[in-house]
Amino acid sequence: MPVVAGRGLVYPERMKDSGENPTKDSAWSDSKDEQSATKVLQPNGGARVAETDLDYLSISRPVGQYSVKRKTVLPICLFFATCLSTFWVGVSLWNPNFFEPFYRAISSPGAQQGSLLEIRQMLLANWDTGLTYMLCVMLILLMHEMGHFIATLIYRVPASYPFFLPFPANPIGTLGAVIGMQGALADRKQIFDIGIAGPLAGLVAAVPIAYFGVSQLDLTAQPYGGFGFRLPVLLDWFAKVTEVPGYETGDVVWMSQLNPLFVAGWVGMLITGLNMMPIGQLDGGHITYTLFGKKAHWIAQATIVFAIAYMVYHNNFMLILMVVLLLLMGPNHPPTRDDKVAIGPFRYGLGLASLTIPLLCFPPQIFKITF
């Protein structure tokens, strides 16, 4: 029987050698995973059954003796779709109404020619801005996800290719990216390394991009455009170090003042800070669970309560959908294959330090809108 491995399938060596193929709807999960073997006790659909209704099937733990069947077409399509969506929001200069020319062209045949001309003019005028923004954002996202993916390869934990998430209906053009993996096959130390590898790799790209983007800002000119980006703590420090003209702590960077490096770095900070929230299957949830064990469940629940209270107090519900999704997925992190594996003082210190990432990188109110 195959074991579900995120988006792929892990084949027992017996099945691999015999050439036997599992059925596409097979999806068995582990209820007990020993170092040497896994006993399959849960069938497709997730319903628990009595042990007497199932025969135990020992499957060798996939260390050097497994193959992973990963989807490739969908990740590739999503990657290029995200490239297109980020390119277009850059071309439109991150205008929240950037989709309006397309809407007019579709909904009003009489205005179609004028709308298409407007789109062509935007492309000719801002293609370099869109390309720069697209390359920088995709580099940050790709490094983040490849940090996770390479760590899963090192530890031979079955994982999917990254799934990039295009979202052309917002000013930044993406919702980030995700990777599916069979976390039940990883122990405490491996989960820590896989979880932290993504944010650290992403920051390697995001920090210099953000720094140079901030250094190019000039806030002395009269802003226009009713839509602004609030700065997280780290970008506020960058603005002070680079002595951005006209900047004071708490200022908003408005649409007319943006540049592609700044927005790309800002997006990288936003996504990294959000991912490092200590909740469930987010990267921060992996870290806190490996640091504190089941006490991390209390941290996750308290974080969600605080987030909801913060949104209500400030009457700002931009992240309400994210909170709802986290509640549906469950705020608590599942156990690893072996929670007793030591992570050592270096990883423990690194993990504690990484918990400051949301405080440094995540802008609490994100945008300011005055339309």
Q: Are residues 246 and 324 in the same domain?
A: yes
* Model pTM score: 0.79
Q: b or e along 14-36 (b: 16 or more beta carbons within 10 Å of the residue's beta carbon)?
A: ebeeeeeebeeeebbebeebeee
According to the model, what pLDDT value does residue 45 have? 44
The range of the structural domain enclosing residue 44 comes to: 3-69
pLDDT digits (tens, 9 = 90+) for 229-284: 999 999 999 999 999 999 998 899 998 899 999 999 999 999 999 999 999 889 99
Integer Cα distance of 318 and 30 in angstroms: 37
**Count of residues for the chain?**
371
pLDDT digits (tens, 9 = 90+) for 178-228: 999 888 899 999 999 999 999 999 999 999 999 999 999 999 988 877 788
Domain tally, the chain? 2
Q: Are residues 9 and 25 in the same domain?
A: yes
Q: Are residues 244 and 181 in the same domain?
A: yes
Q: What residues in the chain have per-residue pLDDT under 50?
A: 1-65
**Residue 98 — φ and ψ, nearest 5°?**
-65, -20
The CA-atom distances, in angstroms, between 187 and each of 156, 184, 192, 286, 293 are 12, 8, 9, 11, 12
According to the model, what pLDDT value does residue 201 have? 96
The residue out of 69, 99, 115 marking a domain boundary is 69
The residue out of 41, 69, 97 marking a domain boundary is 69
Q: Are residues 25 and 137 in the same domain?
A: no
Integer Cα distance of 15 and 8 in angstroms: 16
Q: How many CB atoms lie within 10 A of CB 355?
A: 16
Q: Are residues 104 and 214 in the same domain?
A: yes
Q: Are residues 170 and 64 in the same domain?
A: no
